[in-house]
Amino acid sequence: MTPVDAGHTAYLSDGRLDVDAEGRITAAVAWSAPADERTSQSIIDLRPMLLLPGMVDMHAHLPQLPNAGLGAGLDLLTWLDRYIFPLERGFDEGAADVVAPQAFRALAAAGTTTAVLYGAVYEGSLDRCFTAAEAHGIRAVIGKVMMDRLRYDPRVGDSEVLELSLRQSQNLIERWHGRDNGRLQYAVSPRFAVSCSADMLRESAALAAATGAYWQTHLAEDRHEIDEVLELFPDAQDYTDVYGRAGGLGERAILAHAIHLSEREIERLADTRSRVAHCPSSNLFLSSGAMPLARYLEAGISVGLGTDFAAGPDLSMFSVMRAGAFTQSGLRTMLGETRPSLSPLDWLRLGSLDGARALGLDDRIGSLEAGKEADFICVDPRVTSPVPGQETDDPADVMSRLIYRGRPDMIRGAWVRGKMLDT
Ligand SMILES: [Zn+2]
């Protein structure tokens, strides 16, 4: 089952995915169809399990994984101070060597084959994260966090931090951006406007533009955060304008959350073709708010989904879909929303092909179509059936159960470029 570039969902109840030696999909066909000679060397029969495109997690924080599930209900700034900054401060090379390989295995076990991640502030620690991703085989976009105020790294003087952070980011881009034929990429990662001066935001955006790296940050997640940003940047029209003035908005910008936006900001994100990583389980966990997703999609904003672990309590994109779907159902009732609601197949698309599109990677991944790289997962829908032996064969119903009755053991394997990942 897969969303396809043409817009609908393709489903074969007894299908086969042909993959060539380079890890590229050559066909998605009926099981009984004649096999292409390039792909008939080894056949793995996974029936009656189901293949889906690998999930694309557009937003999460590697160093935070050990604290996932802690601090529910705190507001963002308190939670960062209490649960996150101490953890990231300790995320040195040794910590990265322990946590990063575990995180990549856990992501694959949850069905994620592409992850967009923040590291901590240390260059050497980022090298270890990239090294672990390279060895594991997952597709990853990673960046060193940049902060020149509200920092957790006291070893660097205030006057040096901007230049040092830019230089280290540049070094990491040179070493890792585009590695393994584009499987690994770099995101220049100023944390958010509370932690970054106007200079850092502007210089980081310039670095991303000059190198072709992504530029990722957080936007309008929490009311206290927004108040703080407007105080720090009194000349800006609104939070989005802080990033606009820095030159950060555009197709390479990945903005996490963006849940409290004015109409002007919504239009600005749509006009600049900036990308939004929607993280509904995190937004519920930290009582941040609820994104008016239907309005954003109507405005034409490019939206994908993210777990935002550790503020998102688990690594499963199916859990994110469930949180998102419940949130949208609640909003419909409260706001009298009349725009059409999203179906389970719409959520599948958001978690896979739309995420790939938001990253500009939809020519490579996001769906199971000939010509794309073979990033896919195998799930067992039988474990989601309330009555064993009475499984449904309708694609929307199958996906509905994967979202609303999903459980960790339904993911049976994850592949990137046709190569199975350790889980
Ligand atoms: Zn985040």
Which candidate, 266, 278, 264, 198, places its Cα nearest to that of 232?
198
- For the chain, first and last CA: distance in Å? 22
pLDDT band at 30 (very low <50, low <70, confident <90, very high): very high
What is the rounded CA–CA span in Å between residue 246 and residue 258? 17
What are residue 145's DSSP bridge partners?
Answer: 189
- Distance (Å) from CA 77 to ligand 1 centroid: 12
Residue 40 pLDDT greater than 60, yes or no: no
| Residues whose CB falls within 8 Å of the CB of residue 68, separated by 6 or more in sequence, listed in order | 309, 310, 312, 313, 314, 315
- Report whether pLDDT(39) > 80: no
The rounded Å distance from CA 143 to ligand 1 centre is 12
Distance CA 248, CA 393 (A): 45
pLDDT tens digits, 116-155: 999 999 999 999 999 999 999 999 999 999 999 888 887 7
Helix residue ranges per DSSP H, 300-374? 317-335, 344-351, 353-358
- CA dist 212 to 129, 166, 252, 321, 360, Å? 20, 15, 8, 30, 12
* Model pLDDT for residues 11-29, shown as the tens digit of each residue: 999 999 999 999 999 999 9
Q: How many angstroms separate the alpha carbon of residue 60 from the centre of ligand 1?
A: 6
Q: Are 121 and 145 in contact (CB under 8 A)?
A: yes
If you average pLDDT over residues 288-293, what whole number do you get?
A: 95
Looking at residue 126, what is its pLDDT? 98
Strand order in the sheet with 376-379: 50-53, 376-379, 411-416, 419-420
Q: What is the whole-number distance in angstroms between the Cα of residue 414 and the centre of ligand 1?
A: 24
Banded model confidence at residue 331, pLDDT cuts 50, 70, 90: very high
Ligand 1 centre and the CA of 226: distance in Å? 15
C-alpha of residue 59 to centroid of ligand 1, in Å: 6
Type of residue numbered 16: R
Distance from Cα 14 to the centre of ligand 1, integer Å = 39
Separation of CA 228 and ligand 1 centre (Å): 17
Say how many Å lie between the CA of residue 1 and the centre of ligand 1.
30
The Å distance, Cα 352 to ligand 1 centre, comes to 19
Is the overall model pTM greater than 0.85, yes or no?
Answer: yes
Ligand 1 geometric centre to CA of 392 (Å): 36
pLDDT of residue 377 exceeding 90, the answer is yes
| pLDDT for position 43 | 86
Q: Give the single-character DSSP code of 340.
A: P
Find how far residue 87's CA is from the centre of its chain. 21
Task: Report the separation in Å between the CA atom of 191 and the middle of ligand 1, taken as the mean of its atom positions.
Answer: 8
Instruction: Give me the pLDDT at residue 344, please.
Output: 98
Tell me what the mean pLDDT of segment 324-333 comes to.
94
